[in-house]
């Protein structure tokens, strides 16, 4: 749909001879549609990779097998050990998934992105969507993988009894950065 919209708007820009304003608007709409298409495709590809990483991390921890650095092809954007000895890995979408970063950048960016996704959800309401379409229709998310040991003195990464580790995988919308 986005490719068709971009092509239609590009044709409108070419066909609008002598009308510079109409030509400019059509050209900007075509570029915007292509930018949204790139954003969605990059996010979908990243989303699939993160799902595979989360699955392999979960299976490694549940089985007690070590997580080998070569088995994870996606690196977290942040890694921290919380005061309660919880290990937290955060995965954010890449820079080409620009709507996530626009959403986090400012209040205006947040409003634009959420209005776009509200429009997409209205258009697709009541329709049966496959896994790919659902990924495109929902706002971009950050993945947070955390592992905590019930023993407060031992970090989760050093816990001997792996059957007692608590593990969670959460998704959250883009955190809005405050501008002070």
Parse the chain into domains and list their residue ranges.
40-172
The pLDDT assigned to 155 comes to 53
The pLDDT assigned to 140 comes to 82
Nearest to 72 by CA among 88, 51, 103, 100: 51
- Asked whether 58 and 169 are in contact (CB, 8 A), the reply is yes
Nearest to 26 by CA among 38, 18, 40, 14: 14
Q: In the numeric block, which tokens belong to residue 165?
A: 């580790």
Report the alpha-carbon distance of residue 119 to residue 99 in Å, rounded: 15
Q: Which residues of the chain have pLDDT under 50?
A: 178-180
Q: In the numeric block, which tokens belong to residue 167?
A: 């593990």
Query: 4-39, pLDDT tens digit by residue?
Result: 777 777 787 778 777 888 888 888 888 888 888 889
The pLDDT assigned to 179 comes to 44
Report the alpha-carbon distance of residue 70 to residue 113 in Å, rounded: 36
Both ends of the chain: CA-CA distance in Å?
Answer: 40
Nearest to 109 by CA among 16, 174, 34: 174
- Asked whether 140 and 100 are in contact (CB, 8 A), the reply is yes
The pLDDT assigned to 178 comes to 45
């Amino acid at each position: 749909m986005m490719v068709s919209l971009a092509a239609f708007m590009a044709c409108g820009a070419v066909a609008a001879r002598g009308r510079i304003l109409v030509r400019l608007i059509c050209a900007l709409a075509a570029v915007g549609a292509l930018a949204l298409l790139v954003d969605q495709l990059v996010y979908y590809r990243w989303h699939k990779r993160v799902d595979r990483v989360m699955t392999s991390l979960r299976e490694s921890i549940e089985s007690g097998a070590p997580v080998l650095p070569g088995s994870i092809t996606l690196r977290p954007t942040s890694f921290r050990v919380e005061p309660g000895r919880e290990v937290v890995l955060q995965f954010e979408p890449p820079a080409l998934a620009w709507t996530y970063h626009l959403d986090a950048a400012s209040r205006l960016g947040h409003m634009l992105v959420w209005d776009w996704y509200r429009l997409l959800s209205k258009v697709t309401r009541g329709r049966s969507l496959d896994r790919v379409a659902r990924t495109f229709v929902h706002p971009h998310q950050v993945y947070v993988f955390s592992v905590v040991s019930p023993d407060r003195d031992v970090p989760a990464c050093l816990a001997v009894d792996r059957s007692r580790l608590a593990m969670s995988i959460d998704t959250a919308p883009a955190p809005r950065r405050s501008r002070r």
